[in-house]
Amino acid sequence: MKGNEAIAHAAIRYGADGYFGYPITPQSEVLETLEALMPWETTGMVVLQAESEVSSINMVYGGAATGKAVMTSSSSPGVSLMQEGISYLAASELPALIVNVMRGGPGLGTIHPSQSDYFQATKGGGHGDYHLIVLAPSTVQEMADFVALGFDLAFKYRTPSMILADGIVGQMMEKVVLPPQRPRRTAEQIKEQCPWAVTGREGSRKRNVVTSLELDSAVMEKNNERFQRTYREIEKNEVRYEARYTEDADYLIVAFGSIARICLKAIEDARKEGIKIGLVRPITLWPFPFDAIREAARNVKGILCVEINAGQMIEDVRLAVSDRVPVCHFGRMGGIVPNPQEVLDALKKDFINK
């Protein structure tokens, strides 16, 4: 099963209430698969092809306001269009899941894989002070698993979360074990878990209003302080990463998503040559695993940050280690994916044969 298809299957099995999306390569299989599976006949999940990404995200915003588990997916240019709605979701403290299967930019760019939306995803993207929880899958299995994780974290912290995948993991097929089918939440469960939700003002309850607008600056500052407390809480509890071969490593590679797998092969090939390289793969790009990288970098001579972009995550890696360890970037752009040999050559050039 393709990564994009796994997202669709996992959404139905999570018991998602709605998906709203617009076709764009390389992620159209998400919408196509959902339409083919017709979950409205089985779980009652709503699937709708919107007229644009702008509408998709605003449908997500409307659906999320009613306490439903709703999601969308797109690829880079489409996710740029969604930034308005994502900012509103964050400001209104609404849970939702957004999937970005990145392609190369800027502009219309290329339909081929890229990781050049790292800044957009992790540093805000839209206007205002906010963060998304950003999950970076490296396997089709993680594409499936992160749907439930993304939704659960979104509801736990009342904040939108994003699966930041790339064209490789979206388009590639591999073995995947799908989670068991969960029932969709009932209207009663939603009212209990989401007392803020717009569900119709019943009985003596005061009306619920979901809004991001607050013209009183003092109140708006308080709102922002509340958002920031949530973000600190997420930073404390939800950092996720994978570390491989770091115990005896002389060098460290930091890479996320599918590129981490290419690096892993490079690392395994290098071990055959006697070069000891470790890997830290951030799974949550926000919150970023600063401590894990600092720890893994304690005894290394250099860090290579491998990303298929011009060097974005490298800024966070440098923050993690300050100036104590030299950090270099290796990446390709425009949709080109480096192979393991290129990664190893880059590491040798930067740190071993300089």
Q: How far is the CB of 61 from another protein (least distance, A)?
A: 6
Closest by CA to 99, choosing from 86, 90, 110, is 86
Q: How far is the CB of 6 from another protein (least distance, A)?
A: 13
Q: How far is the CB of 248 from another protein (least distance, A)?
A: 19
Q: Give the neighbor-by-neighbor strand order of the sheet with 251-254.
A: 241-244, 277-282, 251-254, 302-306, 327-330
Q: How far apart are the two ends of the chain, measured CA to CA in Å?
A: 43
DSSP character for 172? -
3-class SS of residue 183: coil
9 contacts another protein (rule: CB under 8 A) = no
Structure tokens of 163? Answer: 């699966």
Q: According to CB under 8 A, which residues from 119 to 138 bind another protein?
A: none
Closest by CA to 161, choosing from 240, 265, 72, is 72
Structure tokens of 214? Answer: 């607050």
Closest by CA to 66, choosing from 43, 95, 97, 42, is 95
Residues that bind another protein (rule: CB under 8 A) add up to a total of: 63
84 contacts another protein (rule: CB under 8 A) = yes
65 contacts another protein (rule: CB under 8 A) = yes
95 contacts another protein (rule: CB under 8 A) = no
List Cα–Cα distances, 327 to 65, 91, 244, 261, 263, in angstroms. 43, 35, 18, 20, 16
203 contacts another protein (rule: CB under 8 A) = yes
List Cα–Cα distances, 157 to 90, 232, 234, 235, 262, in angstroms. 11, 11, 8, 11, 33
For another protein, the closer of residues 26 and 95 by Cβ is 26
Q: How far is the CB of 156 from another protein (least distance, A)?
A: 21
Structure tokens of 326? Answer: 């030299």
Q: How far is the CB of 38 from another protein (least distance, A)?
A: 15
Interface map 163-202 toward another protein (x if CB under 8 A)? ----xx--xxxxx----------------------xxxxx
Q: How far is the CB of 344 from another protein (least distance, A)?
A: 10
Does the N-terminal peptide bond of residue 282 adopt cis geometry, omega within 30 degrees of 0?
no
Q: How far is the CB of 287 from another protein (least distance, A)?
A: 26
Query: From CA 105, how far away is CA 114, in angstroms rounded?
Result: 8
Interface map 262-301 toward another protein (x if CB under 8 A)? xxxxx-x---------------------------------
208 contacts another protein (rule: CB under 8 A) = yes
The one segment of 14-22, 232-240, 287-295, 310-318 that binds another protein by CB under 8 A: 14-22
26 contacts another protein (rule: CB under 8 A) = yes
Q: Quick one: which of 23, 35, 46, 250 contacts another protein (CB under 8 A)?
A: 46
- Contacting residues for 339 by C-beta, under 8 A, at least 6 apart: 262
Q: How far is the CB of 291 from another protein (least distance, A)?
A: 25
220 contacts another protein (rule: CB under 8 A) = no
258 contacts another protein (rule: CB under 8 A) = yes
81 contacts another protein (rule: CB under 8 A) = no
Structure tokens of 226? Answer: 């509340």
Query: From CA 90, how far away is CA 96, in angstroms rounded?
Result: 9
Query: From CA 71, how far away is CA 97, in angstroms rounded?
Result: 5
Q: How far is the CB of 88 from another protein (least distance, A)?
A: 5
- 198, 135 in Cβ contact below 8 A? no
Q: Given the rule CB under 8 A, which residues bind another protein?
A: 17-18, 20, 25-26, 46, 48, 50-52, 54-56, 58-63, 65-66, 68, 70, 84-85, 88, 92, 111-112, 167-168, 171-175, 198-203, 207-213, 258, 261-266, 268, 337-342
